[in-house]
Amino acid sequence: MKLLYLVAASMLICSGVFAQCSASPVTLTYKSSAAFPLPKECMSAIHDELGKPYLYVAGKERGLLIYDVSNIASPALIDSIKVADLYGLEVMSASQSGTYVYIALGSVFSNSAVPGMAIIDVNDPRSPVLKSVWKYHAQSGGAGIVKAEGNYAYLGAMRRGLMILDITDKTNPILVSVFKPSNSYPNPTNPDSLKYNARGMAVRNSIVYLCDDAGGVRVINATNKLTPTETGQYSNPAVYNRPRAYNNVVLDDTLLYVAVDYCGMEALSVANVNNIKLVGWWNPWHCESFSNTWFNSLGHTNEIQYSAACKTVFMSSGKSEINVVNVANPASPDSCTKYTTPGGNVGVWGLALYEDQLYACYVYVPLGIPFFSNWSGVKAFTWNNCAAAGMHEVADEAKPDIFPNPSRGSFSVHLPPASVEVSVRIYDIVGVKLFDHTFGNNTDVEVRLQNVYVGNYFAEIMYNGNTIYKRVMIMN
């Protein structure tokens, strides 16, 4: 979502189908707001992954803000980690792994910013402990995102590329390697280094699916942390020689859902990373058309969230605020709903999704590039989560149960009598399928997850014509 060059070229394409999500209509219900003092900005947020009623908000100049959202109609600011404690680096985004929150530091809007990362212990969110602050030694435009997997953190450091840090000792992160994707893709004759920036990412089993902004999606194998290598790349040929910005991504098994700024959302198959394919394209603003110059686009998708249970994607969309798309058929992304403030001149930059809750981060954009926004802060919503609804379709006494829960990765699914051909699927919080097995007639089935991290997962249990969803917690 930065100022990109425009080359006069256009191609005819076939975009997605924009129906009305008739199979699973989504309703967003506004609950509350927490305004920021202008000109402060709200960049991004995450709900506590372990089920505690807290929201961690990347407040840029205000640092990391922690809200108690036990009453979603009245969120309460309870603590913060200030920029002064972070080497003066602004907070751009947050992620969580177990009881630690990782924050990406350094403004992505300033080429003179230094990228960095901080680790915060939120075992007790009301008393957060800043474990460490790490920053790079040179400027590059800050850091847009950080993800942790196991003993390593992956930092999207804008023009500096992907940085991998050893976080075994949370008090002393150590830089292991830096990987800078080549600027020769997708436009080898006209690369612009200022527009190739490591932004959003998803990480699974040391494979990084990286949004490199104007450089498209890059797949980086980081199994060897010292020498990560690029194994795949994709950029939509329909917008060659046009402005582009691959901003953020979520992973569902072998599919990527990518927020592509004024080009909406792409569904990409990464079953073969050497040959990434476009499966579907939700392109409501027709970015390939000559009339859309990026500046005048009605929407700009940035952050993306995903409900694997409902096959539903949520996107922050600038002045279009929030767009919801059903991807039950990824080849035909299906517009479900959108939320736009009545009569408001406001724009959304970040989104947080948790169960039936959705939180939107609004930014202050007084100059109107690429959209005008005169309000900043967090708005809270609820939505009709199909997983939550499904759990109430069966009488309480007939519902499956999981025990022990929490567990260390091995647990039993107890089913009512006369259950036949039971299917159990386990997903992680971003929708990656970890377990999929069908059992015969049984009242108890055993599930063993291998090499999983501490955190929240969910089980999809299909039996006797019912589909039930259960939260599964993995602890140390």
Say which range, 139-143, 172-176, 428-432, has the weakest mean pLDDT.
Answer: 428-432
**Same domain assignment for residues 355 and 452:** no
- Residue 245 and residue 260 in contact, taking contact as beta carbons nearer than 8 Å: yes
Residue 377 has pLDDT above 50, yes or no: yes
**Same domain assignment for residues 315 and 410:** no
Residue 190 has pLDDT above 80, yes or no: no
Residues paired with 30 in a beta bridge: 381
- Residue 40 and residue 311 in contact, taking contact as beta carbons nearer than 8 Å: no
**Same domain assignment for residues 256 and 345:** yes
Q: Quote the DSSP letter at residue 55.
A: E
Q: Which CATH number covers residue 425?
A: 2.60.40.3080
Q: Which CATH number covers residue 279?
A: 2.130.10.10
Residue 17 has pLDDT above 60, yes or no: no
**Is 23 contained in some domain?**
no
Q: What is the pLDDT of residue 388?
A: 64
- Reported as a single tens digit per residue, the pLDDT across 18-62 is 345 545 678 999 999 999 999 999 999 999 998 899 999 999 999
**Is 18 contained in some domain?**
no
**Is 348 contained in some domain?**
yes
Residue 37 to residue 58: CA distance in whole angstroms: 15
**Same domain assignment for residues 370 and 425:** no
**Is 180 contained in some domain?**
yes
**Is 13 contained in some domain?**
no
**Is 99 contained in some domain?**
yes
The residue among 242 and 77 whose pLDDT is bigger is 77
Find, among 288, 327, 336, the residue nearest to 308 by Cα: 327
List, as own/partner pairs, every contact residues 50-56 make where C-beta atoms lie below 8 angstroms and the sequence separation is at least 24, other chains included.
50/98, 50/99, 50/455, 50/456, 50/473, 51/456, 51/471, 51/473, 52/125, 54/78, 54/122, 54/125, 55/352, 55/359, 55/378, 56/94, 56/96, 56/101, 56/122, 56/125
**Same domain assignment for residues 256 and 321:** yes
**Is 7 contained in some domain?**
no
**Same domain assignment for residues 224 and 317:** yes
Q: Quote the DSSP letter at residue 449.
A: -
**Same domain assignment for residues 329 and 416:** no
**Same domain assignment for residues 407 and 352:** no
Residue 470 to residue 476: CA distance in whole angstroms: 20
**Same domain assignment for residues 139 and 272:** yes
**Same domain assignment for residues 404 and 372:** no
The residue among 368 and 440 whose pLDDT is bigger is 368
Find, among 76, 79, 81, 92, the residue nearest to 44 by Cα: 92
Give the torsion sign (CA, 403, 406, 411, 416). positive
Domain boundary residue, one of 385, 419, 437: 385
**Mean pLDDT, rounded, for 216-237:** 97
The residue among 261 and 310 whose pLDDT is bigger is 261
Instruction: Give the list of residues 6+ apart from residue 18 with CB closer than 8 angstroms, or none.
Output: 282, 284, 334, 335
Q: What is the pLDDT of residue 195?
A: 85
Domain membership of residue 436 as a residue range: 393-474
User: In the chain, pLDDT over 70 holds for what percent of residues?
Assistant: 90
**Mean pLDDT, rounded, for 77-106:** 97
**Same domain assignment for residues 362 and 457:** no
Q: Quote the DSSP letter at residue 386.
A: H
Domain boundary residue, one of 358, 385, 412: 385
Instruction: Quote the distance between the C-alpha of residue 331 and its chain's center.
Output: 21
13 pLDDT band (50/70/90 cuts)?
Answer: very low
**Same domain assignment for residues 146 and 39:** yes
Domain count, the chain: 2
User: In the chain, pLDDT over 90 holds for what percent of residues?
Assistant: 64
- Reported as a single tens digit per residue, the pLDDT across 405-446 is 888 888 888 876 656 678 888 887 666 788 888 887 666 788
Residue 474 to residue 476: CA distance in whole angstroms: 7
Q: What is the pLDDT of residue 81?
A: 98
15 pLDDT band (50/70/90 cuts)?
Answer: very low
Residue 217 tokens, joined: 């999606």
Residue 247 to residue 244: CA distance in whole angstroms: 9
Domain boundary residue, one of 367, 385, 403: 385
Report the mean per-residue pLDDT for the chain.
Answer: 88
Say which range, 68-77, 175-184, 433-442, has the weakest mean pLDDT.
Answer: 433-442
**Is 6 contained in some domain?**
no
